[in-house]
Chain A
Amino acid sequence: MTGRRVLFRQGTVLKTIVLALLVVLIVLPLIRTVLVTLQPDAIDAWSDVLVGRLSHNLFYRPLVNTLILGVGVSVGCVLIGGYLAWLVVMTNMPLRRTIGVMATLPFMIPSFATALAWGTLFRNDRVGGQVGFIQGLGVDVPDVLAWGMLPSLIVLTLHYSSLAFTVIAAALATVNSDLVEAAQLTGAKGVRVVLGIILPVTTPALVSAASLCFAGAVSNFAAPALLGLPVRMQTLSTRLFGMIEVGQTARGYVIGIMLVLVSALFLWLGNRVISGRRSYATITGKGGRAKRFDLRGAKWPLFGIAAVILLVATVVPIVVLVASSLAPSSAQLFGNWTSHYWLGQSSPSIAQGTPGIAYNPDIVRALIVTLGLGCAVAVAGMAVGLLSAYTVARHRTGWASATITQISFLPLLVPGIAFGAAYIAYLGAPIGPLPALYGTFALLVIAATAYLLPFAVQTGRAVIQQVSGELEESARLTGASFLRRLAEITVPLAIRGLVAGGLLVFVKIVRDLSLVVLLFTPTMPVLSVLAYRYASEGFTQFANAVAVVILALSIAMTLIAQRLQAKSQPWLKN
């Protein structure tokens, strides 16, 4: 019997590898960005942005706009998401199931698609170009509804409300019906039970929903860029984009760092509020057969409100985008339909000779790049995610595991556009013998993998937790190597979850705009940026047609993923 000296504790090698990988993918880009702004020729950017003559325009006005967006969206989302979640989980509203499924849909529609749809409907003649459908009907659309803050707020609220719904519904579903019944036995009536029991118990979920929506809204690029930029409404993310576009990279990085700080601050505050109080987690193995509130006469009116909100958030944008991709003029969405924007050859009379998307080499190339990117990132992301999750799950103790968890969730604090900027700072120029990666497919894949790692790790964790540690230990006892165990035990057992996770990563990157908008180059185009470019140039139909392609891709993939996961939605079970 030959032994070997165990130089390291179990898992040390694995932990070291994963930690190194995460440092290279996530920590170094962020540090590098900060360092770049501290170079002698760039350090002035800090004073320019924060205290200089231009600081008002460069930073403070965008900051105020960003905060208004963040606060407005998080309040709106908690109200809408909370309302829907309460109806679906706690009441006997008709068609609860349908509403529950519909409420998760808006998040599948990329925010730039919703913003494009908004423009198609409400655009007025203030900045020239085609007017929208409503103006076309002869109604004068006021500027405040067509451009700037209000439409951005509405679009983002509709988009992020399904995030709030998911978080709040999950929390409500864990409220044991005993809790409610105990309150009812004391004689408390419906409203009293909601305010006295359910609201306090779900406060942590409400706070975390609010802070997630806040972080999403402040870092969103698409909506303010499409609806705000034409009328010079700047947020931190559009400012950051603008600075990098015009070559003032140092200032851009400083704004990016400030954006990270703002978004992180609020996520941290949210966490503080939650962790300051006792956790009310009431998940028990007992069947959560909640007795539902009887809405009686209010049933249908409450259902009506929910249905209208969801129609506006899901069906309307999709219908508008599809119609617009067929109609020569946004003003007449439902007339003179043509397939030119999809299948037409180049014709000088339409859209300056841009051919329909099936024959448009730019779009076809972008489609190929985007699909390739999606697949590459799905595979790379799930591989790194699984490895990190595995390491942390099987070797829970020690500072290294805690650090791995912390780092892997770090990108959540970094808005996509700031992350993109960081990767330009990191890999945009040659490092030692390594060539500059700017404009390459590799850069897109690496940056996107790092950016989506929190999601991949979380999925990986859920998957690993399904595979009991003993299954793997019993394989280890037979002498099977780490890779063999992974390949023959862990992965086969987790394959559905992994594929589902991979598909969702695919969807997330295919419809992402904020990360790739800075990494985009004409040689390496992706669909979402192309749609954004077309929209900025006034080629509404092409923008919308591309958006429809992305929409179809992401909805199809999401549905497949959900089917695979047999995603448990306990609040829908009866």
Chain B
Amino acid sequence: MLELRNLSKSFGDFQAVKSVSLSVPDGAFLTLLGPSGCGKTTLLRMLAGLELASQGQIVFDGQLVSDGDKSWSVDPAKRNSGLVFQSYALWPHMSVRGNVEWPLKVARVDKSVRDQRVAEVLALLNIAELADRYPNEISGGQQQRVAIARTIAPKPKVLLFDEPLSNLDAKLRVEMRTELMRLHRATGATTVYVTHDQIEAMTMASHVAVMKDGRVEQFGQPDDLIRVPETAFVATFVGTPPNNLVPVSPGPDGPVVRGRPIGLRPPVEGPCFAMYRPEALRLDDQNADRTLTMELVEASRIAGRTMVTMVDGDMRLTAIVDQPPTAEIGDSVRVVLPERPTCWFDDMGRRVGTDRTGAG
């Protein structure tokens, strides 16, 4: 089990990570997902032992490895963990073999065992034929594989990845995603994976922690995040395409959306947000109840259906519809909101009301 208890980290006055608590079972694939600057990399560096926590504890496998409250920490090398850097951090003066072998040398592994293990991981990552090349002689995707081979060579129980795919092109990224999941199954190591790409997070992870401003906004399995987003931020950050938030404010004759009355019944007084799934919105020429007139700005075919995006002022809605719209880009279209939104958020972004069904 990998467990974090009230983990915090400050740099001077700046609090990068604020009281994070979560735990995942052995062999889990945990992604830390969030926009840049949300503290996810700092959290990872604390797990690796490169930063000392300001407060809170880190427990690997039932054993405390770091206690910020007591300024106590297990040396990075003794945590049985390995980190793959975003930049790969391959040592440019060593060959591929040298890079993979060096950590084993430092650990005083016997030469014969070492050679065997190096051959093993190079084969596992399909880079055996690159063994004698230097990092600047191989491609970005190959460097990535070397970085991973180097990290798994000492057989760590916990594998840490810092945005490992962000430097690869789109196609390679998809291939590496599959490769990493295969590797995860092969090694069985508990994996913590930092990314800002929600597709990566949702496709690879067994557990996702969505972070924002140093806090965990929501921690759960990918499906939970989609089904029951706890905050407006999570609702709009995960999912492809992400959910729609419609700002609803009180008016003299009931709730209004952008100044126009609409037949919705928010669970709170005051301004709030109604969340709709893209597939729940419809385009309709008829002027029905709960209809918004908006400008059509994008339409694209996706897997036999059509994704349309509309804007009205700063409100932007995305719908997945069966038929392409007849209107041209720039024309007005009418969007029909279902009677009951999937859920509601108050103006602080917190989920309100009792509606917890995921029905769209």
Once the chains are docked, how many angstroms separate the CA of A484 from the CA of B108? 13
B332 within 8 A of A: no
Contact between A477 and B73 (Cβ–Cβ < 8 Å)?
A: no
Nearest opposing residue in chain A for B80, CB measure: A1
Contact between B78 and A1 (Cβ–Cβ < 8 Å)?
A: yes
B75 within 8 A of A: yes
Contact between B52 and A6 (Cβ–Cβ < 8 Å)?
A: yes
Once the chains are docked, how many angstroms separate the CA of A478 from the CA of B102? 8
A2 within 8 A of B: yes
Nearest CB of B to A471, in Å: 5
Contact between B74 and A470 (Cβ–Cβ < 8 Å)?
A: no
Nearest CB of B to A74, in Å: 40
B106 within 8 A of A: yes
Contact between A493 and B73 (Cβ–Cβ < 8 Å)?
A: no
Contact between B77 and A492 (Cβ–Cβ < 8 Å)?
A: no
Contact between A470 and B73 (Cβ–Cβ < 8 Å)?
A: no
A278 within 8 A of B: no
A143 within 8 A of B: no
Known: A6-B52, A474-B85, A478-B107. A1 touches B71 (CB 8 A): no
Once the chains are docked, how many angstroms separate the CA of A7 from the CA of B87? 31
Contact between A478 and B77 (Cβ–Cβ < 8 Å)?
A: yes
Nearest opposing residue in chain A for B68, CB measure: A6
Query: Cβ of B78: which chain A residues have Cβ within 8 Å of it?
Result: 1-3, 479
B261 within 8 A of A: no
Contact between B87 and A1 (Cβ–Cβ < 8 Å)?
A: no
A-B interface contact total, Cβ < 8 Å: 88
Instruction: Name the contact of A489 in the complex, choosing from B11, B74, B91 (C-beta under 8 A).
Output: B91
Nearest opposing residue in chain B for A488, CB measure: B102
B154 within 8 A of A: yes
Contact between A473 and B106 (Cβ–Cβ < 8 Å)?
A: no
What are the interface flags for A184-203 relative to B under an 8 Å C-beta threshold, 1 for contact and 0 otherwise? 00000000000000000000
A31 within 8 A of B: no
Once the chains are docked, how many angstroms separate the CA of A479 from the CA of B104? 10
Query: Cβ of A1: which chain B residues have Cβ within 8 Å of it?
Result: 60, 63, 65, 74, 78-80
Query: Cβ of B12: which chain A residues have Cβ within 8 Å of it?
Result: 397
Interface residues of B toward A: which range?
A: 35 or more
Contact between B107 and A479 (Cβ–Cβ < 8 Å)?
A: yes
Instruction: Name the contact of B106 in the complex, choosing from A2, A6, A468, A484 (C-beta under 8 A).
Output: A484
B39 within 8 A of A: no
Contact between A475 and B91 (Cβ–Cβ < 8 Å)?
A: yes
Nearest opposing residue in chain B for A7, CB measure: B71
What are the interface flags for A1-41 relative to B under an 8 Å C-beta threshold, 1 for contact and 0 otherwise? 11111110110000000000000000000000000000000
Query: Cβ of A470: which chain B residues have Cβ within 8 Å of it?
Result: 85-87, 89
What are the interface flags for B104-132 relative to A under an 8 Å C-beta threshold, 1 for contact and 0 otherwise? 00110000000000000000000000000
Known: A468-B89, A471-B89. A477 touches B77 (CB 8 A): yes
What are the interface flags for B44-82 relative to A under an 8 Å C-beta threshold, 1 for contact and 0 otherwise? 000011101000000010011110001111111111111
Query: Cβ of B89: which chain A residues have Cβ within 8 Å of it?
Result: 468, 470-471, 473-474
B251 within 8 A of A: no
Contact between A476 and B73 (Cβ–Cβ < 8 Å)?
A: no
Of A1, A4, A7, A397, most B-chain CB atoms within 10 Å: A1
Query: Cβ of A6: which chain B residues have Cβ within 8 Å of it?
Result: 52, 71-73
Nearest CB of B to A498, in Å: 14
Nearest CB of A to B102, in Å: 7
Question: Could you show 29 A-B contacts with beta carbons less than 8 Å apart?
Answer: A1-B65, A1-B78, A1-B79, A1-B80, A3-B72, A4-B73, A4-B74, A5-B70, A5-B72, A397-B11, A468-B89, A470-B86, A471-B89, A471-B91, A473-B85, A473-B89, A474-B83, A475-B106, A476-B50, A476-B76, A476-B77, A477-B103, A478-B77, A478-B103, A478-B154, A479-B77, A489-B91, A492-B93, A493-B91
